Amino acid sequence: MADNEWTTFNASGNLRVVVTKELPGDRWLKILEQAGCRVEYSTTTRILQVDEIKAAIGDRCDGVIGQLTEDWGQPLFAALKAAGGKAYSNYAVGFNNVDVDAATQNGIPVGNTPGVLTETTAEMAIALTFSAARRVVEADEYMRRGRYEGWLPTLFLGQLLNRKTVGVVGAGRIGATYARMMVEGFKMNFVYYDPYPNERLEDYIRDYAAFLEGHGEEPVNVTRADSVEQVLREADVVSLHPLLDPTTHHLMNEERLNLMKPDAILVNASRGPVIDENALVAHCRKHPDFRVGLDVFEDEPEMKPGLNELNNVVIVPHIASATSWTREGMATLAAGNVAGVLRGLPAWADQDDILPFLGDDAPDACPSIVNAEELGLPVAG
Ligand code: DGY
């Protein structure tokens, strides 16, 4: 990579931290500066390949902040260890691009950025849901092409979601937040599949149902399904929020797509390979009333052939967490992880409560280290 694609901040810092993309805001730089780091960050918009990252690590590097687009496996963790590296943080909550076992074997703590993107990502899943249900992109294009000749009773008929059933696969932080927004906002019944029950979410929805009844309205209901299949059969809208691992790769395949209602809506703001995208293209061609909202793709940044020609699919370029507040917060957390490890701070215990790290008096801890236990790191908070 050309030298002019790298910028150095705090050149006199004693510790060397490599950051593979420029991050938003400047708080992250200050956090690293205060920890005595010289920061070298890449200003390219290209996805860096393993060899380029290895070259950037060089023979002396104390820590790295990397991206979800990069393959952080044994070759990179071995290179980081050989360069004296002690810390890595992904600039993302998801870390399916990271071989955590390899990092642990090399003694390197792996950070991520939970919490700060929960609502932001759920809001984008909602935006995709309604863009698909109400055909917003198709209608926008129609206007721009000057095709609107006047109001018509049948122009762009879509789906009313109020009082229908919303389904979620994976009711963790983001899935549960999406569910609450849909249930509360549109009085929808809720069905979810998750290997672990989300009792807090269930209680919340039951309390909301009681609230509706107290106001003389029909209550909503909540069902924890026995299988993904049950969610697909029952729901009018299904939003996917599982972690990507071998058990969820191509979770949505031809067979499962066929279980969904022919005019259902499918949303994915988790990871692309959760859907067999070729099967999805075929399904959408066969069922023009089936609608889809996608933030993520199987082979990002590519799309499978035919996807971009489908009117019943809304596609955006992996921007579900893209608000300034969130992306700056992610930078703060990622920098806090690397700086915290380099300063010898403990790992924060409660990864559902990382907001104190965004305030002025951040705790003396690393906000989120996913292999803290495996590495036997001390824990605080
Ligand atoms: C993440 O953090 O995992 C998201 O995909 C970024 O939007």
- Residue 3 is predicted with a pLDDT of 65
- Backbone phi, then psi, for 161, in 5-degree steps? -100, -20
Output the CA 120–ligand 1 centroid distance in Å: 10
Output the CA 155–ligand 1 centroid distance in Å: 36
State which ligand 1 atom lies nearest to the alpha carbon of 270: 5
Give me the tens of pLDDT residue by residue for the chain, a chain 381 residues long.
666 799 999 999 999 999 999 999 999 999 999 999 999 999 999 999 999 999 999 999 999 999 999 999 999 999 999 999 999 999 999 999 999 999 999 999 999 999 999 999 999 999 999 999 999 999 999 999 999 999 999 999 999 999 999 999 999 999 999 999 999 999 999 999 999 999 999 999 999 999 999 999 999 999 999 999 999 999 999 999 999 999 999 999 999 999 999 999 999 999 999 999 999 999 999 999 999 999 999 999 999 999 999 999 999 999 999 999 999 999 999 999 999 999 999 999 998 889 899 999 999 999 999 999 999 999 998
Output the CA 207–ligand 1 centroid distance in Å: 31
Strands (E), 272-325: 291-294, 313-315
Among 16, 224, 271, 283, which one carries the catalytic annotation? Answer: 271
**Nearest one of 165, 175, 315 to 237, comparing CA atoms:** 165
Nearest CA to ligand 1 atom 7: 321
**Nearest one of 285, 281, 284, 282 to 303, comparing CA atoms:** 281
Nearest CA to ligand 1 atom 4: 92
Probe target for ligand 1 pocket from 118, 121, 333, 351, with the most ligand atoms within 8 Å of CB:
121
122 CB-side CA count, 13 A: 21
- Residue 351 is predicted with a pLDDT of 85
Q: Which distant-in-sequence residues (6+ apart) come within 8 Å of 144 by Cβ?
A: none
Among 5, 22, 300, 374, which one carries the catalytic annotation? Answer: 300
215 classed as catalytic: no
Probe target for ligand 1 pocket from 98, 321, 326, with the most ligand atoms within 8 Å of CB:
321
- Residue 175 is predicted with a pLDDT of 98
Output the CA 129–ligand 1 centroid distance in Å: 18
The whole-angstrom separation of Cα 272 and Cα 160 is: 27
Output the CA 39–ligand 1 centroid distance in Å: 23
Q: Are 188 and 164 in contact (CB under 8 A)?
A: yes
Q: 3-state SS of the chain: helix, strand, coil percent to 5?
A: 40, 15, 45
Q: Are 82 and 61 in contact (CB under 8 A)?
A: no
Nearest CA to ligand 1 atom 1: 92
State which ligand 1 atom lies nearest to the alpha carbon of 112: 2
- The secondary structure element, H or E, covering residue 189 is strand 189-193
Q: Which residues line ligand 1 (CB under 6 A)?
A: 68, 92-94, 117, 320-321
Q: Are 275 and 298 in contact (CB under 8 A)?
A: yes
> Six-digit token pair at 288?
């023009």
State which ligand 1 atom lies nearest to the alpha carbon of 121: 7
State which ligand 1 atom lies nearest to the alpha carbon of 94: 3
In Å, how far are 249, 287, 341 from 130, measured between CA atoms? 26, 18, 42
318 classed as catalytic: yes
Among 224, 241, 318, 327, which one carries the catalytic annotation? Answer: 318
DSSP 327-374: HHHHHHHHHHHHHHHHTTPPEES-TT--GGGGSSS--SSBS-BTTHHH
State which ligand 1 atom lies nearest to the alpha carbon of 95: 3
Greatest C-alpha distance within the chain: 69
Assess whether the previous peptide bond of 301 is cis (omega < 30° from 0).
yes
The whole-angstrom separation of Cα 64 and Cα 90 is: 9
Output the CA 367–ligand 1 centroid distance in Å: 16
250 classed as catalytic: no
